[in-house]
């Protein structure tokens, strides 16, 4: 297996991992945040953010590095537009994360706020769909390799 194929596989595994995690968070975890006790919520949120960062940080960095590397290592047998669409989806994910979700988590660290929670839950669909689309694109690339 050549280097380009190895990078595509590594990118796919990182993307699939994060897509699985964000799907769980979106469908199960975020909606249940509303049910955490008011007195405990701030501490719960701080621990949630710290632990989630430990789990998701590495795969997100791997995904980003391998996506950028794909600009230079993409196999000529695969359509080049896949690389650009994949990177565009990553840009959407990272912008959404830092402009929408992170600020809501920051607000929630001080205690439950219904509006911040609603923005978090609804805006997180952006990342969920973007990672889902990346997952499909990379699956297609692997099948076509």
Report phi then psi at 110, rounded to 5. Answer: -85, -5
* pLDDT-derived band at 38, boundaries 50, 70, 90: confident
Which residue from 127, 118, 139, 145 is spatially nearest to 31, judged by alpha carbons?
118
Tens of pLDDT, residue by residue over 82-111, are 999 999 999 999 999 999 999 999 999 999
- Whether the CB-CB separation of 42 and 110 falls below 8 Å is answered with yes
Q: Quick one: tokens of 11?
A: 């990118």
Global confidence as pTM: 0.94
CA distance linking residue 145 with residue 76, whole number of Å? 10
What does the pLDDT read at residue 145? Answer: 86
Tens of pLDDT, residue by residue over 21-36, are 999 999 999 999 999 9
């Amino acid at each position: 297996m050549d280097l380009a194929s190895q990078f595509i596989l590594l990118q796919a595994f990182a993307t699939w991992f994060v897509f699985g995690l964000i799907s769980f968070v979106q469908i199960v975890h975020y909606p249940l945040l509303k049910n955490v006790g008011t007195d405990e919520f701030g501490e719960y949120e701080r621990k949630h953010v710290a632990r989630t960062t430990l789990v998701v940080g590495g795969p997100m960095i791997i995904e980003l590095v391998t996506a950028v590397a794909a600009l230079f290592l993409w196999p000529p047998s695969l359509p080049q537009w896949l690389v650009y669409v994949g990177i565009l989806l990553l840009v959407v994910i990272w912008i959404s994360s830092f402009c929408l979700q992170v600020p809501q988590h920051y607000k929630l660290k001080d205690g439950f706020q219904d509006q911040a929670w609603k923005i978090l839950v609804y805006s997180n669909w952006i990342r969920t769909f973007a990672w889902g689309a990346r997952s499909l694109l990379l699956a297609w690339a692997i099948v076509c390799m």
